[in-house]
Structure formats: structure tokens, C-alpha cells
Structure 1
Amino acid sequence: MRLSCSPSYTLLALSLALAPAFAAERLILVTEDYPPFSMSDSRGQVIGMSTEIVKALLESIGYEHELNIYPWARAITMARNQINTCVYSMSRTPEREALYKWIGPLVVNDWALFARSGSSRPTQLDEVQNMRIGSYQGDAIVGWLQTRGFLVDIAPSDDVNPRKLLAGRIDFWATGRMIGVYRLQQLGLAGVEPVLTIHRSEMYLACNRQLPDEQVRQLNTALAALDKRGVLRRIYGSYGYAP
């Protein structure tokens, strides 16, 4: 017996078949320990400036989310390979442009060279061309420096770089100015200070390429609306941040 389908039934079936490609109203968020932009509190909850912005963004459009902290190299790989997964706070570089879809910017991050207190202070980046600069795996600073011919000593984690600097194993430590100062306070280390700002980087929520363009537009529009209402400025101010 031959069964016939009404046009309305066919349309319903087609819409259901297509639904998974567009039903990303629950996002998997991944980030790293990168204070004050993202970090864990004493209860293990993910907090931080970028975290507050992303949560406010998703709440404003009714999106649910799951949020976890991972090592940075793992987090960026997850967002690249797993559907409906987004990573923050990601510097938007030419090398990364085609790998993700971008929402933002969320914050601006000044990259700086840190040195041992009392050491010579460079006035421009070219002065450290042949010196050892410490960074860590997966950080955009690594590629940015390497493409300009600098020697980068790559650690598995940024936590080890201040001690490497104090021990004389590297000549400079390249990191975000805010996180560098925060990290030194967190580790209780003295004798290290920022000596030169080398670049200003805008940081984004970077999502898996399969996230539909319409949702990317929705997220960017919602972020712009939060900014217009002063929500971002209030979050920035609570961290003593003035971009």
C-alpha cells in the first residue's frame, strides 16, 4: 500500500531533521585559569571579568550553558573540534581567524614584558631581539613573537614563568599585563615587574565553526546591546579595569 504525506507533514519532518543544526541554545563553554578574566573561586565556581560578561550575554538571550576550566591548549582544541563549544578569552589573530566563529570583543588585553626588578628596561621591543622570552603553550603571544623573529621559551603553563625569570632561565616573561601582576600577587613573588607594553589584543568568545551564522549574529547583537546599556562598563569597573 502506498502512503502519501501531506505538505504540512513533510514540512514538519523536514524542520525536525534540520533542527539539530540550529538548536544550539545550550553552549559548552571552556576557558583557562587566566585571572582576572577567568578563574576559580574557593568553591570551584568559574568567575572573572570575561566570565561575567559571557554569562550576562547568554542570560540576556535565554541560552543555557555548561562551563569548565581546562589547560589552554586543551580548551582551544575542544572549541575547534566539538560542536556547540566556545572558548574564551581568545585573542583574534590571522592564524586563528578561519578556525572559529567570533563573538566580541569582550575585553582588551595589553601584552607586556616582565623583567627582574633592577634589570635594564627596554624602551622598544627590538632591543630584546636576541634574548630569551618566556611564554606558554597555546598562547597567542608565542606566535606573535615568533613571526617577528624572537626567541620564545615555551612552558606548559604560565605559572612557571615568573620563577624561571627569577632563576635567570629566561630574560623576560611575556604575558598580559593584568594577569602578570595578578599572578605575581597570587604566587607571593616579589622582584618582578612589567617593563614594556608590546601589543594590545582584543579578546573574544570563539566558537566552533559549525555554530550557525544566524546565532553568531544574535550573540554579537546581544553583546552590543549589553554594551549600550552600560553592563560591560559596570563589569569592567568592578575589576578596576578601564580599557
Structure 2
Amino acid sequence: MLRMVFCMCLLWWTLPAHATLLEVVTEEGPPLQYLEQGQIRGAGAEFVERLLHRAGYSYRLSMVPWARAELMATTQPNVLIFSIARTPIRESQYQWIGRLLTIQYSLFRLGSRGDIQLERLEDAKVWRIGVVKGDVRANWLRDQGFAYASGTGPGLEEAPTPFDNLRKLQAGRVDLIPSSTLGLVGFCQQTGQRCDQLLPILDLPFRAELYLAASQGTAPDILDRLRKAYGQLVKDGSYDRMLGGYQAQ
């Protein structure tokens, strides 16, 4: 599928209950949210849309690179963002609506790269690691002492999207990428890549709680309605039916 990295794909729903239009932003991350014939699909996107319908808000759903999504959600009111990892650094930057998923991350390499063997995280510092700009995995690796690469040397190399990051791994431009099994399987299905060519070689001591969050400046009454709608979807079983099968993979 041909993709334009910086294109914005929009879904605009107008509901009668509330006049406030909420901007909802996400990045492409199959199987939770992805593009299919110009439409945003996936269990994560569908759950968020059901929540917004339940709360009765008009919204515009956009799929953009993660750095742009975070910029919108940290500089404008009435912006929702998903699926965003809840971390201590981000705690005061957003207003948190509800948890979507728990994700476990590992370092992956190509099956053909038998020269890459890791027994501990420190061993990965001699390799070039692909990360997505602004992503929680990049931030976590920085906290563990990983530096950005200089020239063609080891370190972290940024990409604008997860698809670009995977392509760099396939092309040999990076040696490792941090990912969840769930996320990698989704990208393999979208790109036609054989997942058996991608091997996890080190589980990271890092789980992320992925959330739907709102920007600061979003009105308290909007937050209350969204959180109430989230609670209703948990209580009536919609959450488990839509997202239960994706947890901690």
C-alpha cells in the first residue's frame, strides 16, 4: 500500500448532543489503528469512536506522525490523543481518560542477523537502534543511557513513523527496533513482511500502559462526560470484547 508519511486522513462525525468539536489524533499502529482504503480502522480506533458516540461529542479523527500528534495535544485545548503511554514525565502534560492496553516490549532483529546476540540491555549499546521520534520507547532507552547515533555509529536513530522504522530494519539501516509482538505482527500484516524473519532477542524490563488522554485546557465537563462514557463501556463489557484480546502482548 502506498502511503504518504505526512498526509492527514480525517474522519469527521457530527453528533447533535454537544457543540464542542473534539480533535482526536493518533498514529498508524496496526492492528489497533491503521488505514484501510482511506478509512481509519482497528480495535483501538473503534473503541475510542464508540466512547465518543456514547459521550455525545462531535469529533474529527486524524492519523498523523506521532510527533505531530503530541504537538497538537500539548499546545491546543479539546484534543484527544491515543494510544499514548502514561509515564511520570507525561503525567502532568495530559488529562487521562482511560486505559486502552498494557503492552510488553522487546528488542527485535532480522532473522538473518545472527551476529547480533544480547544477554542484557547494556549489550545493545554497540548496535544501531531504530526508534520513532517522540515515542515512549525512545524516551525510555534514553533514560537507560542510550545516546542518539552519530554518523553511521551505534546509538538511537529516529524515524517519523513505525512503518519507516520497520523499513529501516528491513533495509539494514538499523540493527534493532523496540516493539511489542502485537505491534510487529500488525505491521507485518499491513506490509506483507514475513513475521518469522523478525526475532525478539531481548525482553525489555518495560511495560507501557497505553491510554486515551486529553490535552490540558480541555473543559472539566468534557472530561467528566468522556470518563463516564469510558466507565460505561467497561461496565457493559464493550471494553473486554473490543480490546481484551490485545492485552500485554
TM-score, normalised with respect to structure 2: 0.79
Assess, with a 3 A threshold, how the Cα gap between structure 1 residues 186 and 121 changes in structure 2: closer, same or farther: farther
Match of 1:241 among 230, 235, 246: 246
Residue 96 of structure 1 pairs with residue 90 of structure 2: yes
More helix by share: 1
User: CA separation in 2, counterparts of 1:62 and 1:161?
Assistant: 37
Match of 1:209 among 216, 224, 228: 216
User: CA separation in 1, counterparts of 2:167 and 2:50?
Assistant: 36
Deviations 1:201-232 (A, max 9, x none): 11112212001234323322321221121101
Residue 35 of structure 1 pairs with residue 39 of structure 2: no
Q: SS of the residue aligned with 1:28?
A: strand
Assess, with a 3 A threshold, how the Cα gap between structure 1 residues 123 and 52 changes in structure 2: closer, same or farther: farther
Residue 157 of structure 1 pairs with residue 152 of structure 2: no
Native 8 Å contact 2:102 2:247 kept in 1: no
- RMSD (CA atoms): 2.1
Residue 87 of structure 1 pairs with residue 81 of structure 2: yes
For structure 2, list consecutive stretches of 5 or more residues without a partner in the other structure. 1-17, 147-154
Match of 1:115 among 97, 109, 116: 109
TM-score, normalised with respect to structure 1: 0.80
Deviations 1:150-209 (A, max 9, x none): 231112222233333244332211123312222123222332223333221111122120
User: CA separation in 1, counterparts of 2:247 and 2:73?
Assistant: 29
Q: Which one has a bigger Cα radius of gyration?
A: 1
Native 8 Å contact 1:24 1:211 kept in 2: no
User: CA separation in 2, counterparts of 1:61 and 1:156?
Assistant: 32
Q: SS of the residue aligned with 1:129?
A: helix
User: CA separation in 1, counterparts of 2:142 and 2:231?
Assistant: 34
Native 8 Å contact 2:108 2:202 kept in 1: yes
Q: SS of the residue aligned with 1:98?
A: coil
For structure 1, list consecutive stretches of 5 or more residues without a partner in the other structure. 1-22
Identity %: 36
